[in-house]
Structure 1
């Protein structure tokens, strides 16, 4: 029998931790749905078109484990002038990773994306945002221009950004889409922190129309553009479901 590798188990355990407190309350059922729903090329093309038609752009986050299967998606978004951001090799927490485990996860994932698409991401959206000291050291050594996360200390040479919180998932648990996106529009007018959106979750909550209105009003940019010349940066997380392979 082929044993499951540690990184695979780490990802699966991270997802299971979201459901470890008994039956899922109705307002949290999107979490289970998000673990199995999957955005495909036409979904990404529609989202890209919405951004482009509103003179906007975004940073799309991808996992290394999906690079081969999502190569056409990544290349399409890159050709549409959006930013490709790194989101680890597998989707697990970095809160307690050692230096060795973090370095392996980042290096493996970056290589997978580069080999599949020829694109080298400059930004790292850390899954679940919390970053251990060991992971910070690995990030410093591998090198990124920016990181979306909450590290124990800021990595040298890397711009650290913390997204506007609570972001879309929490607000959509508590408010209808129009109210949730109106709150986020007010946040955009009040500051320059980047926004984190999960389009499949927005769709689950029947919020695509409100999200499109947010894009039309705010006209967000990639995180790289925000850092270079201002504007409201946005990171878009459409991660594929967990794969036990």
Structure 2
């Protein structure tokens, strides 16, 4: 039980919620593209659809089998193929996001919708393919420039989720060995204090992750991720 709690991540909880809501609104048999699917963690939500996926599969990590192994700037399908697109936690890894958004716009049918999620506040990951973090204003600019209509832009998780992530990072990364604290007599006095802080931060990270699942607090602070729902205008002429 304790081990499961330490692995719990409220951002993944919110990601599942948002993708489940998006999937629930998709009609039976609609054609869905999971763009940059990775391990395809949300594929099971789209069992009622015709699900296809695309990824370049160059990062050293596990991947689910992809329908299209390709650069997202050039997906080998015809125009207006997909009814819906899933685009989760991908755009920060794209060196040329405008080109990818143009391509996603091309392959989405007029009237089709896409869900985007991506970080504002997160450590570097999947190196060397980690390039950007996006504010809500950058997202508005990029999606509008590509031709999409923004239906909703929101915090993915509330500030409690951001705090939980910060606390977790401090619990993992704060040094506590005397050799990492400069050596000398003072470092031996500081080391147990730092270790105690790490334990406290780990505990309170769990508390805030659990709070996030019950309360989405957005009155102040800032999000860890944004979620955006966009559509391709029904008339593109």
Higher percent of residues as helix: 1
The answer, yes or no, to whether TM exceeds 0.5 is no
Tell me the TM-score normalised to structure 1 length: 0.31
Higher percent of residues as strand: 2
Tell me the TM-score normalised to structure 2 length: 0.31
The structure that has the greater radius of gyration is 2
